[in-house]
Amino acid sequence: MEIKPQAVVLPKETDHLEQGKYGPVFPRTPACYGFTIVARVKPGHADAMRQYGYALAEALEQDPYLLAPLKLHYLRWVLFDDDTRFMYQGIFDTDFDKYTEDAVALFSKAGVSTAFEHLEGFPEDWRTNPEAFVRFVREHHCPSFIEYGEYPYVTADEIKKALRIKSALSEMLDQMQ
């Protein structure tokens, strides 16, 4: 099986895209699904944002599968412009609407806050108002215009399965020697 890297150029205009519950459904790309949010940090909240990063890392040490329902490939958080702006990038295997609804449900169930609470304009009622959460994310989303995948359209679960098979095969070959 040959895996050929691929790239897809995304349209600037989204009027022709299928409409989901909260807006246009961006197409799955070779990098799967994802979004990038750029927003202003509330004045004086940059340190709290960083502390939230530590808290999330600690929560993941205690429960490595905490974020599993989100089907993430990766997340990237960046504070920039002297800690006045924040960028969130996430790549995941579900569409935008499902990801954001799952995130609200996951954090609400776990009783965990979100780093987004430190961003200007983030709705205080996000736990009970997923529509407001999604609206904030959509309003701050900076869509990609091209996405590339070295291993296109492969889900996080497929990658983990392939790594388990590789490990099992290596173990079997080691035992044969």
Q: Which of 85, 88, 96, 91 is nearest to 56 (CA)?
A: 88
On the question of pLDDT at 5 being above 90, the answer is yes
Tell me how many degrees the CA angle 133-79-146 measures, rounded to the nearest 5. Answer: 70
The model's pTM: 0.86
Residue range 71-129, pLDDT digits in tens: 999 999 999 999 999 999 999 999 888 898 888 888 877 777 889 999 999 999 998 88
Handedness of CA 70, 73, 74, 75 (dihedral sign): negative
- Please write the tens of the pLDDT for every residue from 27-73: 899 999 999 999 999 999 999 999 999 988 998 999 999 999 999 99
Q: Is the separation of the CB atoms in 168 and 48 below 8 Å?
A: no
* DSSP symbols for 33-101: EEEEEEEEBPTT-HHHHHHHHHHHHHHHHH-TTTTGGG-EEEEEEEEETTTTEEEEEEEESS-HHHHHH
Residue 42 CA to residue 25 CA, distance in Å, equals: 30
Polymer length of the chain: 177
Q: Which amino acid is at 97?
A: D
